[in-house]
Chains A and B, each alone.
Chain A
């Protein structure tokens, strides 16, 4: 049962992410990416990380994908993307990097044979309970730093995207400076 679920999820996830990477349409890419995120949360449920799976569903499928679809309203999403790819040695570099990544991923479990669990999963506690216990004792400082980081990201997102939605943020100042110089010239 676990094997069927694993192989089904893997084939579907790889296919959907290939569509994301290779498609020329932004809407197709975003939809398949969202579906792949849902299937990845399925992997987390298979691995017994229930809380992580729920967080994946809420944050990625709920928040990040909604943010992307809001961002798509600013861009022209209906027309296909035209890209020119003219580099032959890029292909060699690309395949070399992929081979290196695969080798590292293969050898990672062999290298980590004698890993001792520093925070072993407690017996009798469900996954959210154990996660909460470890997160608010051992990982409290990174948790707070992550909270500050999210606050900074929220403020920067508001400042970058939310200020004067109808006209440009960066070209506006230049235009004003030009207007000022023109008016000074006119006065002179």
Chain B
């Protein structure tokens, strides 16, 4: 029988994949994809806890996480387009303009 631990392990694995992406990637669009993966992993954990504890608060939190993710994508893609027009690439290394 599938229990809460199964979903938590799956959520941890997906979150780790997203974390690998955030730490490994240098392209900003790929960083956004990895962020989406991490948000989805959190959503799975919320929905599983909501189901196994018989509490609707987890699903509510998942809704608000989805709303935050949607607005993050809207603002982030606007910023990416402005950045691409300015720099011609989306590489993170191009953003290190301050030479310390």
Binding site for B on A (CB under 8 A): 2-3, 6, 10, 13-14, 17-18, 20-21, 26, 29-30, 33, 36-37, 40, 43-44, 47-49, 51-52, 55-56, 59-60, 63-64, 67-68, 70-72, 74-75, 81, 83-85, 90, 93-94, 97-98, 101-102, 104-106, 108-109, 112, 115, 117-121, 130-131, 134-135, 138-139, 142, 146, 149-150, 152-154, 156-157, 159-161, 167-171
Q: Is the CB of B8 within 8 A of A108?
A: yes
7 more A-B residue pairs beyond the given contacts A120-B56, A131-B59, with a C-beta to C-beta distance below 8 A: A20-B33, A21-B24, A30-B33, A40-B44, A43-B10, A75-B90, A102-B12
- Residues of B contacting A68 in the complex (Cβ-Cβ under 8 angstroms): 29, 32, 73, 77
Q: How far is the CB of A134 from chain B (nearest CB, A)?
A: 5
Contact yes or no, A160 B81, CB < 8 A: yes
Q: Could you count the A-B residue pairs with CB atoms below 8 Å apart for me: how many are there?
A: 230
Which of B12, B21, B70, B91 has a CB less than 8 Å from the CB of A21? B21
Contact of B56 among A29, A115, A121 (CB under 8 A): A121
Chain A contacts of B71 at CB under 8 A?
149-150, 152-153
Are A14 and B17 closer than 8 Å at their CB atoms? yes
Residues of A within 8 A of B74 (CB): 67, 153-154, 156-157
Q: Is the CB of B78 within 8 A of A142?
A: no
A184 to B21 Cα, complex, angstroms: 50
Report how many residues on chain B are interfacial, defined by Cβ distance under 8 Å: 73
